[in-house]
């Protein structure tokens, strides 16, 4: 093993490569002389770009092959969009750093520049997320929501070409790719609760790899780590898969953390929203308790229906 070299495993999409290069540049800046290179991995999610994500096995389709490479020693570090990482990691792996978060909100992009409130009745809006589907139906029941898969460029092209009239994507990905000017409007958190971990990156390595943990330590952001710890504890406590519309987002003010959570039926006939506040130092506990609150409010029945 070359102690002065780090190999980063990443998907090959433009956004994934940007994220990996961003981490690589920060590692080089923190450790002058460190050699960092990328190893591109094709995941199941990359190979199957048609149809709902749940047909391919949920969030794990974006990370499984990368985690296998980590465990095999093919590379030392993985860079993920945290929202793509399941609540349970593969045995032998750990999240070793969470860098500062980008804009966690969802972006609305329309072909003619109209906001979501001004779209014509029956307008077609594309998204691959059940979380976004249910919240769009709640905001505008008259819209026709369609499945829209593919990378960021593909989705933007489908809007431009009239395949759909508008689309909903993550603000963070568009901003990172220099495409923020394509955003018609940014949903407020109260309008569309983001996905758990949205806007945050996750650095994953082999559990117990002290060398890699030491190298990535300067990249970590304590506030972001606490916020996503609460969100991921909510996800774990609900035990929800990709078949259930689910959102969660934590904000921090001083030493206090506010966590919002949402569980819905896909058709938006029931949308449950709850929130809970607590000390930042007890972030994971706040998430676990909010999960219990949502389950008691009716989320257990929704989860049973969509399991």
Q: How many domains does the chain have?
A: 3
CATH of the domain at 283: 3.30.160.40
Q: Is residue 226 part of a domain?
A: no
pLDDT digits (tens, 9 = 90+) for 257-274: 999 999 999 889 999 999
8 Å CB contact between 200 and 228: yes
Whether 244 and 274 map to the same domain: the answer is: yes
Whether 95 and 13 map to the same domain: the answer is: yes
What pLDDT sits at residue 60? 57
Query: What predicted TM-score, i.e. pTM, was given to this entire model?
Result: 0.91
Q: Is residue 195 part of a domain?
A: no
Whether 68 and 204 map to the same domain: the answer is: yes
Closest residue by Cα to residue 254 from 277, 233, 229: 277
8 Å CB contact between 146 and 225: no
Whether 134 and 155 map to the same domain: the answer is: yes
Half-sphere exposure of 23 (CA within 13 A, CB side): 34
Domain that holds residue 14: 5-99+200-220
User: What would the mean pLDDT of 86-98 be, rounded to a whole number?
Assistant: 94
Q: What are phi and psi of 244, to 5 degrees?
A: -115, 125
State the catalytic residues: 84
Whether 39 and 166 map to the same domain: the answer is: no
What pLDDT sits at residue 18? 97
Whether 33 and 177 map to the same domain: the answer is: no
Whether 59 and 119 map to the same domain: the answer is: no
What pLDDT sits at residue 8? 97
Q: Is residue 192 part of a domain?
A: no
pLDDT digits (tens, 9 = 90+) for 111-145: 999 999 999 999 999 998 999 999 999 999 999 99
8 Å CB contact between 16 and 62: no
What pLDDT sits at residue 252? 97
What pLDDT sits at residue 56? 40
End residue of a domain, out of 186, 211, 244: 186
Whether 78 and 32 map to the same domain: the answer is: yes
């Amino acid at each position: 093993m070359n102690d002065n070299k780090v190999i980063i495993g990443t998907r090959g999409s433009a956004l994934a490569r940007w994220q990996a290069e961003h981490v690589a540049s920060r590692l080089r800046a923190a450790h002058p002389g460190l050699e960092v290179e990328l190893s591109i991995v094709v995941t199941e999610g990359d190979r199957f770009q048609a149809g709902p994500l749940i047909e391919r096995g949920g969030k794990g389709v974006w990370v499984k092959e990368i985690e296998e490479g980590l465990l095999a020693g093919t590379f030392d570090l993985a860079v993920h969009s945290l929202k793509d990482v399941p609540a349970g990691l593969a045995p032998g792996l750990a999240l070793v750093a969470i860098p500062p978060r980008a804009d966690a909100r969802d972006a609305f992009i329309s072909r003619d520049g109209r906001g979501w409130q001004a779209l014509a009745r029956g307008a077609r809006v594309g998204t691959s997320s059940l979380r976004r589907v249910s919240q769009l139906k709640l905001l505008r029941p008259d819209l026709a929501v369609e499945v829209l898969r593919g990378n960021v460029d593909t989705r933007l092209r489908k809007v431009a070409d009239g395949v759909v009239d508008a689309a909903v994507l993550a603000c963070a990905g568009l901003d990172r790719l220099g495409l923020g000017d394509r955003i018609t409007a940014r949903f407020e958190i109260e309008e569309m609760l983001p996905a758990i971990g949205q806007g945050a990156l996750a650095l994953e390595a082999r559990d117990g790899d002290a060398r890699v943990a030491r190298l990535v330590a300067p990249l970590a952001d304590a506030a972001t780590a606490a916020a996503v710890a609460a969100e991921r504890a909510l996800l774990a406590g609900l035990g929800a898969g990709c078949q259930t519309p689910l959102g969660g987002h934590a904000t921090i003010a001083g030493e206090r953390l506010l966590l919002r959570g949402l569980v819905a039926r896909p058709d938006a006939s029931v949308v449950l929203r709850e929130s809970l506040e607590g000390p930042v130092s007890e972030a994971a506990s706040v998430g676990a308790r909010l999960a219990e609150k949502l389950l008691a409010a009716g989320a257990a029945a929704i989860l049973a229906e969509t399991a």
